[in-house]
Structure 1
Amino acid sequence: MDTPTASFTQLVPGMIGMALVGSSVTVSHALVDAPLFTTQAVRYLAATVILLVIARLAGARPVWPRGREWLWLAGIAVTGLVLFNVAVVRGVAHAEPAVVAVAVACVPLVLGVVGPLLEGRGPSRQVLLAAPVVMAGAVLVEGTGRTDAVGVAWAALALGCEAAFTLLAVPVLRRHGPWGVSLHTTWLGGVMLTALGVTLEGPSAAREMSGTQWAAAGYLALMVTAVAFVLWYSTVRSAGAGRAGLLTGIAPLAAAASAVSGTGMPGPWVWLGIAVVIVGLVAGLRPRGATASARALAKAPLRTRA
């Protein structure tokens, strides 16, 4: 078993990133009627430009991929950026949105098991015990819904794509860092989505977007892609994929909070789910080293505490 790092500061970027992802739910509603592939292409291509500018200002110097790195980065773009969006859109045609959200809520357990193995370590018992708690809380927050077999299949694909977004980055994070992984996956995803948009929606589909939809795509490009990607991959690199995976439970909390302004106060089950997620996060992210030190101090003779 691996020992989780004791540094809480390593988790802060990922927490902010997941909060941005969750709070974007209300913004995404503006894109329901927009051309899917074209809108997402605009989002990721704009995010690429933003990342280039911010990386230069921050002094980061992304390097060009080589060899098998192209496969890992392209895999992130295909799964986490392209297929995930398709799975969500197609999935809600056969299932209520809560079904897809509940499937994605299983990500902490997948990352908790597979992530450490990719990093050459064993899964953390602390994370594995906390992951089902976070999942249960997310289910309570999101609720459940009706679906059919096709909807279940799309929900399962969404789960796999969401997990792949993190897991496929593990082998390339050491050399490329959060800036490089974010930059290369966004431009690769932007190119792929542009090709799909031109082929399936037509080269003039962007003209169908309203001003509100352009603004929504711009917000997603800046905050939910450029900023959130770098923050998330920073935590994955420093804290490990398994421990970072628990932070995905913050996204439904942020989504519920952002919905308060539009739909009123959440119901009792949502509040219960929020409490359960918080308990799971505290249990899974609590520094094990600090707990051991406290126990040792309590058992030590009084003269050693002076």
Structure 2
Amino acid sequence: MDTPSTSLTQLVPGMIGMILVGSSVSVSHTLVDAPLFTTQAVRYLAAAVILVLLARLAGVRPVRPRAREWLWLTGLAVTGLVLFNVAVVRGVAHAEPAVIAVAVACVPLVLGVVGPLLERRRPSRQVLIAAPVVMAGAVLVEGTGRTDAAGVAWAGLALGCEAAFTLLAVPVLARHTPWGVSIHATWIGGVLLAVLGGPIEGPTAVREVTASQWAAAGYLTLMVTAVAFVLWYSTVRAVGAGRAGLLTGIAPLAAAVVSAVSGTGTPGPSVWLGIAVVIVGLVVGLRPVPARVVETSPASTAAKPLPSNLTSPLDASGPYL
């Protein structure tokens, strides 16, 4: 069946999360020359500590993963945190940033198809119609760029990792809550990045990070990791991965707006057109679906006689209709 209709209050956390992600694009540029694994390891480990403290203040007590949950959470950290960062950094060496952004813009369609299947539902036709619209708008906002075969491969990996960040959380969100998933993903990802950073960048790499880069990493730690992760997973749990995936189209919009406000770039006609197209896609995909009203005749609503071998509806093995 299709995804049930959603309320605005369920969507707001995910919308805010994507706005934070999009607005961080200009901040992330500061870290281009910083040691990748070391800086990101500090970011995610610090975010895990902040999340634990915030969870306690909120009265939430994370639970320990068990059995297959370790596989889901570790897979989420490996793909959505570690490999995604590697794919973006290595990808821009072979392709213009817009190419990676265009690949990531395909996330709504992937989540719209695969997300409901993980949730044991049929993909929503409404979402499947809206997803390509949101994708097209995001492509218009981001533009296109030159690339080579390696760049295409890195862009594809970035797409898969970005989708995995949401999809691999679906099976564990019910038990661990958005707080628990965020905490476990960040500490696992931080440890993995630290293990990679040691032999690749060396134990002294942390000294190479400048004050401005630490400031940028601090913003990403608090707002884009600790806050945005919980907000995003809250919406995924509330409305499902398919509908939540449409909200990823907000990120490039936020990036374009911040760029215009900060004076680093004035949006051109194609950007404004893309923003309009994304908005149309969001309206189409997230609009409430009216409940179907089934008309019944007086005769159909009359009490039905019980089978001859039963004396009460409670004797039936299933619902008596």
TM-score range relative to shorter protein: over 0.9
Helix, strand or coil for the counterpart of 1:59? coil
Q: Which residue of 1 aligns with 2:228?
A: 228
Helix, strand or coil for the counterpart of 1:11? helix
1:228 deviation in Å?
A: 0.2
Helix, strand or coil for the counterpart of 1:266? coil
Deviation digits for residues 129-176 of structure 1 (CA, Å, limit 9, x no counterpart): 000000000000000000011100000000000000000000000000
| Unaligned residue ranges in structure 1 (runs of 5+) | 297-306
1:4 deviation in Å?
A: 2.9
Q: Which residue of 1 aligns with 2:290?
A: 289
2:5–2:287 CA contact under 8 A, matched in 1: no
1:29 deviation in Å?
A: 1.1
1:6–1:289 CA contact under 8 A, matched in 2: no
Q: Which residue of 1 aligns with 2:311?
A: none
1:4–1:243 CA contact under 8 A, matched in 2: no
Deviation digits for residues 171-190 of structure 1 (CA, Å, limit 9, x no counterpart): 00000000000000000000
Deviation digits for residues 222-249 of structure 1 (CA, Å, limit 9, x no counterpart): 0000000000000000100000000000
> Is residue 2:58 matched to residue 1:58?
yes
Deviation digits for residues 190-213 of structure 1 (CA, Å, limit 9, x no counterpart): 000001111100011000001111
CA separation in 2, counterparts of 1:234 and 1:96? 33
Q: Which residue of 2 aligns with 1:73?
A: 73
What residue identity is the alignment partner of 2:274? G
What residue identity is the alignment partner of 2:269? P
User: Which protein is bigger by CA-based radius of gyration?
Assistant: 2
Q: Which residue of 1 aligns with 2:201?
A: 201
Q: How many residues were matched structurally? A: 293
What residue identity is the alignment partner of 2:43? R
CA separation in 2, counterparts of 1:159 and 1:86? 12
Identity %: 82
Helix, strand or coil for the counterpart of 1:3? coil
1:141–1:271 CA contact under 8 A, matched in 2: yes
Matches within 5 A, 1:22-37: 22-37=22-37
1:6 deviation in Å?
A: 2.9
Helix, strand or coil for the counterpart of 1:19? helix
Q: Which residue of 1 aligns with 2:310?
A: none
Q: Which residue of 2 aligns with 1:301?
A: none
Deviation digits for residues 97-133 of structure 1 (CA, Å, limit 9, x no counterpart): 0000000000000000000000010000000000000
Q: Which residue of 2 aligns with 1:106?
A: 106
CA separation in 1, counterparts of 2:120 and 2:253? 31
Helix, strand or coil for the counterpart of 2:150? helix
Q: Which residue of 2 aligns with 1:279?
A: 280
Q: Which residue of 2 aligns with 1:242?
A: 242
> Is residue 2:267 matched to residue 1:266?
yes
CA separation in 1, counterparts of 2:125 and 2:4? 10
| Unaligned residue ranges in structure 2 (runs of 5+) | 296-321
CA separation in 2, counterparts of 1:221 and 1:3? 33
1:263 deviation in Å?
A: 2.3
**Higher helix content, 1 or 2:** 1
Matches within 5 A, 1:131-170: 131-170=131-170
CA separation in 1, counterparts of 2:211 and 2:184? 28
1:265 deviation in Å?
A: 2.4
1:262 deviation in Å?
A: 3.0
Matches within 5 A, 1:181-220: 181-220=181-220
Deviation digits for residues 30-73 of structure 1 (CA, Å, limit 9, x no counterpart): 10110000010011011011101100101111000000000000
2:108–2:245 CA contact under 8 A, matched in 1: yes
What residue identity is the alignment partner of 1:145? G
What residue identity is the alignment partner of 1:107? V
1:246–1:284 CA contact under 8 A, matched in 2: yes
TM-score, normalised via structure 2 length: 0.90
Helix, strand or coil for the counterpart of 1:287? coil
Q: Which residue of 1 aligns with 2:171?
A: 171
